[in-house]
Structures are given as C-alpha cells and as structure tokens.
Structure 1
Amino acid sequence: MIEGSTSMSKSIGFLSFGHWTPSPHSQTRSASDVLHQSIDLAVAAEELGADGAYFRVHHFARQLASPFPLLAAIGARTSKIEIGTGVIDMRYENPLYFLEDAGAADLISDGRLQLGISRGSPEQVIEGYKYFGYHPADGETDADMGRRHAETMWELLKGEGFAQPNPRPMFANPPGLLRVEPHSAGLRDRIWWGAASDATAEWAGQIGMNLMSSTLKQDESGEPFHVQQRKQIEKFRAAWDAAGHTRTPRVSVSRSIFPLVSAEDHAYFGQQQSSDQVGEIDNFRAVFGRSYAAEPDQLIEQLREDEGIAAADTLLLTVPNQLGMDYNAHVLESILTQVAPALGWR
C-alpha cells in the first residue's frame, strides 16, 4: 500500500457503457432510451456533487457509439461536471473530423471535455475499422494505425496552421496557414490515453497525455490486478517526469462498486462474489479486476486495500445503465455520501 495514499482526495465520476436491449427486463430498450437517460444521469450526477460523466464508445453494438452529440447535449444541460469518454477507438477516427467535433463539444461545455482515447478494444465485427474506410499501412498493425491517428490528432491539437489557404476563398481567411476549426484552447491538456500495458502507459507519459487505466490490463507479472495497476501508474508518472512535462498529469482508474444499503441493492448485487479473473483478450493474457459489493462499512475496508485506486486521482464508477437512471443515481449517491468520505476521497 502506498503510504498515506488512502486519504487522497479524488475526482469521482461515472462511466457508462450505454447498453440497450429490447428485453422487457431492461430500462433501456432502445438507443433513444440510452441517450436520453445518459443526459439525465449526468444532470443528476452533477446535482449529487459527482465530478464526471464519462461514456464508453463501441461500434457495431447496441451501445453508445457516437460520443460528441451526446457530450455536447450534456454540456448544454450542465455547468460544472466534467464530460468525457472512456475510451474512443482511434482506429475508427479521422483525426481532423475528430478535432472539429471535439472542439465544438468543448466550447459548448465551456472547457469541461475530458477525452479518453486508445488504440481500441475487441470488436463486434472483424476489422470493423475497414468499414469506416481505414486500413493499416504496409508493415503496420491495426494498433499502430490507432496510435498514428492519435499522434496526428495530438499534433493538430496545438492549434497551429498547416493547410494552404485557397487564394480565392468563399470567405475571407486569417493570414497564414489554416488550422482545424473550431479550435478549443486547453483541450490538449485534457486528452487521456487508455493503456492496457505498462509500455503504452509509459508512451502516454512520454508524449504528455493523461493516463486512463481500466478494469483490465495485460497480465505482465501474475500479481493481483490492483498491484499491477499501481505499478503501471508509477511507470507512467516516471515517464512523464523524465520527459520534462511541466504540468501535473491526471490518472484515472475504473471500478464497479455497489454499496448494499437497500433491499433493491441486495437483490441486484448481494450474492455477487468477485475476485480477479484471468483470460485471453486480443491475443494477450489479461487480468480483470474484481467488482465490489458489500455493506458500506465492509466496502470501505475492502477499498482501503486497493492500490490502484489509491494511486489515482480520479475514480470512474462503472454503472449498470440498463437498471435505469434512478437506480444509478442512487448508487452514485450511496458512494458519494456513505463510502467516499470515510476513505478521505471527499
């Protein structure tokens, strides 16, 4: 355990995968349900005092897939809460169009956008990025392509002109080369890299992105997930310091945490027994972190021992969005009022 780290104040937000299914047991039976409830949950989370509303992006799935309209809508309905993604698969992205959408959403939210990006996760379809028009270059893997798209976007986020203007434009241009518009100053400091390995965490630290560490990572030592995650965070921060970046980086981790404070909580999660799991994902051995479900006093003691959470400044709570907006707001309130203060997170 990191000395004194259990009492580190934390930014606490939720992370929704945005599932929907026409099943009568689901509270989100359509894409419309998910989108409207996602906005409502972000509004409720802000009223409860949460710090962030984040959304997962998956293509070809009954889940949220197009983040910027949703983030812009939340930005227009809220005033304080951070809004972001965890994460956008850069294999599918045109870096310039990405920046236009991101710039607009960030300006609508007055600079509250926090964008988690990565090279991507296992897909619903085979090589789905090809249907979006993207193909790895000769000698390049799809992961390489995702990082290349990210690096292009990262460079253009500086806001420097690069495009030769038309000498006879429809509208008057400013002098010099042109950049992607709208440009949102400061957004470059709010880009996060979703790292599944120690090496990609170090890469993010070297180039200056924040770190987003999920509930799984490449199993590189056989140690418990939270220990490996803490070491990954330490390597990221060491790479950041060695690169000489001047600002303080941010680090987020994700967890499924359910305080059992009502009969409904016990019915949904009371029988849940969880521990780390190991499996194969994208042709590498991965360790999946445990979920937490217990009465608050017991939950607090369990969470004190989580070294990954202790090392991070931001905690994203994965929510079961198909149980409906009201229930998920209840879970957030229980954590913010009955768990976080006892751990020194609030």
Structure 2
Amino acid sequence: MPRKSEPLRKLGFLTIGLFDEHDPARGHRSTLDVIALGEELGFDSAWVRHRHLQFGISSPVAVLAAASQRTSRISLGTAVIPLGWENPLRLAEDLATVDVLSGGRLNPGVSVGPPMHYDDVKHALYPETADAENFGYDRVRRLLDFVGGEKVTDFSGTEGIEVWSDRVQPHSPGLRDRMWYGGGSLRSAAWAGEHGMNLLTSNVVQAEESEDFAETQLSHVRTFREHGGGRVSQGLVVIPTDSATPEQRAKYRDYVDRRTPRTAAPAGARRMMFARDLVGTSAEIAAQLHAHLAFQEVDEVAFALPFSFDHADYVQILTDVATKLGPELGWQPS
C-alpha cells in the first residue's frame, strides 16, 4: 500500500468536552485534565469543539483560557467556532487575550454559515437584526482584519485620564498567521487559501466531484494549496485499542458500528459525506491511514475523540495514540 515519504510532523487531538447537565463543573474539569494529559504525552496540539445550547463546550475560548494556565507548551485550538454566533470585533478581543495569556499558543479555527436551528434561536440571538445578519465569508474577513491589527475606529488618543486605541487590544503579533478555517467544500478551501488562512479538514465533507470520501478530501487539500494556502490539518476519528480492556474494545466497536451506516452515501441537500471511524490496533489504523489519499498529503493531524466516552477511555485512547499510533506514523513526541 502507499506510504508517505515524510513522517507525520504534528500530532493533535480534538475533544467535544461533554458534561452532565446537573454537574457541568466535573465535565469541564475532565476536559482540562485531558488537555493537560495531552501535553504530558507530548502532543503538539489540543483542540476543542463548540456545542451551543447542548451539553458540550459552549465557550471554547473560555475553556482554552483556563487550559492556558494549566499547560506551558501545547498549542490550543478551536475546531471550530461558528461565527454566526459571534461578533467578530468582540471575538477578536477574546482571542487576542487568550493568545497573550498562553504565550502565543492559540490556534483559532472558525467557520461561517447561519447557526444551526436558526429559525428557533434567531430571536434570542439577534432580536433586532435576525433577518439582516450576513453569515457569509465577510464575517471571517472582518475577524481576520481585527486580529491582524487593522483599524476599527478613527478615534484614538487620550481623553481625560483614559487612553484609547484605534485597533483591538491586546494586539498579539503572530495570531493572524495561526487562524484556521474549518472547510468541507471546494469553495471554502479556495477561499481559505486566498485569504491566508490554514485549513482544518475533518471527517465531514461535501460530495462535489466524487462520492469517495478520501478523494473528495484530497481535492479540498489540493484546491487549498493551489490558492496559496498554508498549513493543513486532517481530523478523523481514530480509536486505538492496544491497551484497551475487553469491555472498552466492545464499547468502541459498538460505537463505530452504530455510526458506520451514515458513511454509505452522501446525505441531504448539501450531499454531506462522513468518514468511517477507524478502530483497531495502532498498526491496523496506521495501515488504513497510509492508504488514505488525503492523509498521504498532510503532515499534521488532529484526531477527534469520540463524543460519548468516559474519562478513563480518553486517557487510554490518548495514551495509545501518543505512544503507539504516533510512532507508527513516524511522529515523535515534543
């Protein structure tokens, strides 16, 4: 089977940060513990996903602010913040603040489009402007400008004893170069490349030129690079079982079996395709990845942790990824 000529350069992981509605602090502490463990194991990056109005991380920037104080080396990313819920100016302030607190380790990933179930939430989110909001790429462009230090006002200087700036403060040099776009289509891949962003490509893509997931993802990676894009990180669900107990192995395979039917064909009007979750020994998973067309052209990954597992499961999975799967892919811990 094909094998990459270059070893995997950066290894990361993604967590959704689920919690119990009646004990949310425990779930959030678990997420912070998982990120701290990732640093101990040598992972290059830890990413958190958003879940608005659900029982997952609703404020990824706040969670990463806390994580920045419990870690010292690992990169911290969002995969991704849906900008339909955000004011780009205010978000730029939050991102810059966390980047300063982390010592320049923040990697913000964003996406566009209206919020999910928008008709149900729009009057709470945008009570006066719901039908006038623009959820297109302009929202990203504004955020990039604000993070990059472009002027946001014509007023600056001293007024009484207060000093005013004409750009977002704090300003964190280098943050603009670490902005990522979560793209699943040829259009978004091209746009991200043209606007100097990095690309997060996940286990969900839009079927456009092919109904083969790997071929489609590969076309996005190549389109991004053809339009001047920089770094690319691939996110697939991988579940190594090297040190898992028999009970864990059974649970993991049941989880994958229940999710596999959705990978059979494109779904919905947008023809979205899902990648099959990879479960097995690290050697088995590595063989499948080396045969994956898109994996062959990336040197960074952010493997997604399954949504609904227990903390002990995440410890086992991350430990196997760092100590067994990563080395199988040529990666060495930081």
Normalising by structure 2, we get a TM-score of 0.88
Shift of 1:33: 2.0
Give 2:267's aligned residue: 280
Q: Secondary structure at the match of 2:96?
A: helix
How many angstroms apart in 2 are the aligned matches of 1:121 and 1:48? 37
Contact 2:47 2:76 in 1 (8 A): yes
1:55 aligns with 2:48: yes
Residue in structure 1 matched with residue 183 of structure 2 by the alignment: 195
Q: Which amino acid aligns with 2:139?
A: H
1:145 aligns with 2:135: yes
Deviation string 1:228-283 (CA, Å, 9 cap, x unpaired) is 10111001000016xxxxxxx111111111112222431222454447333435x3
Conserved 8 A contact 1:15-1:86: yes
* Helix, strand or coil at the partner of 2:223: helix
Residue 189 of structure 2 aligns to which amino acid in structure 1?
A
- Is the aligned partner of 1:228 residue 2:216? yes
Q: Among residues 151, 160, 171, which one is paired with 1:161 in the alignment?
A: 151
1:258 equivalent to 2:257? Answer: no
Displacement, 1:167? Answer: 7.1
Q: Residue type of the partner of 2:248?
A: D
1:201: Cα distance to partner?
0.5
Asked if the contact 2:14–2:303 (Cα under 8 Å) also holds between the matched residues in 1, the reply is: yes
**Structure 1 position 88, deviation (Å):** 0.4
CA shift for structure 1 position 310: 2.2
Q: Does 1:171 align with 2:161?
A: yes
Root-mean-square deviation (Å): 2.4
Residue 246 of structure 1 corresponds to none
**Alpha-carbon offset, residue 110 of structure 1:** 0.3
Structure 2 CA distance for partners of 1:130 and 1:205, relative to 1, 3 Å: farther
Q: Deviations over 1:178-229 (max 9, x none)?
A: 1111111110001111112111100100011110111111111233211210
Which residues in structure 2 correspond to 1:33-52 (within 5 Å)?
Answer: 33-52=26-45
Aligned AA for 2:154?
Q
Q: How far apart are the structure 1 equivalents of 2:321 and 2:207?
A: 29
* Structure 1 residue 87 displacement after superposition: 0.5
- Taking the TM superposition and a 5 Å limit, the aligned residue runs for 1:1-346 are 5=4, 7-21=6-20, 30-120=23-113, 123-124=116-117, 126=119, 128-133=121-126, 135=130, 137=132, 145-165=135-155, 169-173=159-163, 178-240=166-228, 249-261=230-242, 262=244, 263-271=246-254, 272-273=256-257, 274=260, 276-281=263-268, 283-320=269-306, 322-346=308-332
1:21 Cα deviation from its structure 2 partner: 3.9
CA 13–179 in structure 1, closer or farther in 2 if over 3 Å, else same: same
CA pair 125-157 structure 1, distance change in 2 beyond 3 A: closer
- How far off its partner does 1:130 sit? 4.7
Deviation at residue 120 of structure 1 after TM alignment: 4.5
Q: For the Cα contact (< 8 Å) 1:6–1:343, is it kept in 2?
A: no
Take 1:127 and 1:250, find their aligned partners in 2: how far apart are those partners? Answer: 36
Q: Secondary structure at the match of 1:212?
A: strand
Q: Which amino acid aligns with 1:203?
A: W
Distance 2:114 2:203 in 1: 13
Call closer, same or farther: CA 1:136–1:240 in 2, change over 3 Å.
farther
Report if the CA contact (8 A) 1:92-1:129 is conserved: no
Q: How far apart are 1:336 and its partner, in Å?
A: 1.8
Three-state SS of the structure 1 residue aligned to 2:250 is: helix
SS at match of 2:166: coil
Percent of matched pairs sharing the same residue: 29
Q: Would the aligned equivalents of 2:15 and 2:307 in 1 still touch at CA under 8 Å? A: yes
User: Would the alpha carbon gap of residues 108 and 42 (structure 1) be closer, same or farther in structure 2, given more than 3 Å must change?
Assistant: same
Task: Confirm or deny: 8 A CA contact 1:31 1:63 kept in the other structure.
Answer: no
The answer as to whether partners of 1:160 and 1:179 remain within 8 angstroms in 2 is: yes
- Separation (CA, whole Å) in 1 of partners of 2:264 and 2:234: 17
